[in-house]
């Protein structure tokens, strides 16, 4: 969202209405009016701070950086629901990875509203254009002028090719994960699980299928729940099914609950 004339008119009208309300209370409520007015002011300050933090502040930052921000590209590592909805459109927090002016990689977060008709427009593995605050590299916004053209998925390892040694190590790790997963899926017990955290490991396999790590809360039938961490390759088309909060099905080793495998990917 951007700051525009309508927004400023709404803010000014709200402040004017608040001042009028306070004046009316002080003029009509007698000696107790000052206490009532004080309570209203405290409530208004709290609501104003919350309103600024969730809406006005991000809008002002977005308006400023759309003009003065330094263009960059960022890799989406995680997408988290903030629980905030504005005009029925959900706000999400993107955990991003990008390079600073020295070429060093670092992580940052940005909050963005998405259309309720396109809730999965931002997905882990996408590369998005951002505008970085020249005074603070941790402050940034999505470059709305170029987002449509540059919303693409990363390939290989965060834009870098693997060396032969890295490729061999990756193949060995994937093979071990596959063998362990196959054994658990063959002999393990089925259970539901809730995805608590979804992390890209920076590698895509056989095209754009990401290699990921997930932290799960496993919910066995008639047994206490337990936490587990799994790694595996997820089909590109199924990434949205494994986001935090989603329910999936797994199998686990009854003798060692630290061994868990996703049933379907």
Q: What is the pLDDT of residues 52-104, one digit of tens each?
A: 666 677 777 788 888 888 888 899 899 888 887 877 788 888 999 998 877 78
Average pLDDT over residues 12-25: 65
Core vs surface per residue 100-126: b (16+ CB within 10 A) or e: eeeeeeeebebbbbbeeeeeeebbbbb
- The pLDDT confidence band at residue 43, using thresholds 50, 70 and 90, is low
Q: How many CA atoms lie within 13 A of 210 on its CB side?
A: 25
Decide: 232 and 203 in contact? Cβ < 8 Å.
no
pLDDT tier at 22 (50, 70, 90 boundaries)?
A: low
- The pLDDT, as a whole number, for residue 228 is 93
Instruction: Confirm if 259 and 191 have CB atoms less than 8 A apart.
Output: no
Q: At the top level of CATH, which class does the domain 69-153 belong to?
A: mainly beta
Assessment of whether the complete model's pTM goes beyond 0.85: no
The DSSP symbol for 157 reads B
Q: Where in the chain are the domains?
A: 5-67, 69-153, 164-262
């Amino acid at each position: 969202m951007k700051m525009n004339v309508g927004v400023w008119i709404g803010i000014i009208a709200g402040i004017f209405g608040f001042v009028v309300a306070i004046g009316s209370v002080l003029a009509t409520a007698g000696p107790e009016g000052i206490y009532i007015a004080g309570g209203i002011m405290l409530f208004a300050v709290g609501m104003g701070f919350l309103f600024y933090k969730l809406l006005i502040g991000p809008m002002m930052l977005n308006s400023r950086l759309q003009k003065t921000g330094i263009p960059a590209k960022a890799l989406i590592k995680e997408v988290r629901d903030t629980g905030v909805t504005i005009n029925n459109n959900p706000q999400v927090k993107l955990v991003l990875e990008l390079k600073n002016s020295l070429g060093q990689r670092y992580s940052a977060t940005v909050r963005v509203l998405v259309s309720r008709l396109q809730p999965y427009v931002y997905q882990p593995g996408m590369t998005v254009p951002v505008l970085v605050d020249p005074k603070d590299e941790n402050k940034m916004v999505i470059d709305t002028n170029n987002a449509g053209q540059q919303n693409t998925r990363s390939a290989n390892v965060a834009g870098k090719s693997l060396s032969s040694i890295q490729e061999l190590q990756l193949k060995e790790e994937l093979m071990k994960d596959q063998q362990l997963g196959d054994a658990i899926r063959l002999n393990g017990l089925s259970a539901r699980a809730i995805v608590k955290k979804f992390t890209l490991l920076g590698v895509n396999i056989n095209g754009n299928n990401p290699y990921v790590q997930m932290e799960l809360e496993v919910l066995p039938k008639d047994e206490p729940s337990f936490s587990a961490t799994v790694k595996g390759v997820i089909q590109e088309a199924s990434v949205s099914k494994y986001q935090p909060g989603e329910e999936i099905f797994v199998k686990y080793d009854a003798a060692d609950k630290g061994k868990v495998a996703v049933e379907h990917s």
